[in-house]
Amino acid sequence: MIFEEVKLDCGYRIDLLVEDKLVLELKSVEELSDLHYVQTLTYLRHSNLKLGLLLNFNSVLLKEGIRRVMNKL
């Protein structure tokens, strides 16, 4: 990740980036928390993208485990 012309070689890695427009953050947890939301929002801010999806695969119905995350929309 490059932030303010400084290359950060740390643990911040987007799970999936679709068409350089959509960030997909994949989880398999009991329940999504605010920390997961903030993590996805941080990825959006640092990559200058506007839209992300937080997906939790540990839910009975997949549609219950999807949370939309927006950056400056």
**Domain segments of the chain: what residues?**
13-70
pTM greater than 0.85: no
Least confident range of 1-10, 11-20, 35-44: 1-10
Distance CA 17, CA 22 (A): 6
Under 8 Å between Cβ of 53 and 67: yes
Tokens of 3: 């932030």
For 30-71, what is each residue's pLDDT tens digit? 999 999 999 999 999 988 999 999 999 999 998 999 999 999
For the chain, give the number of residues: 73
Tokens of 54: 């937080």
H/E stretch holding 45 reads: helix 34-46
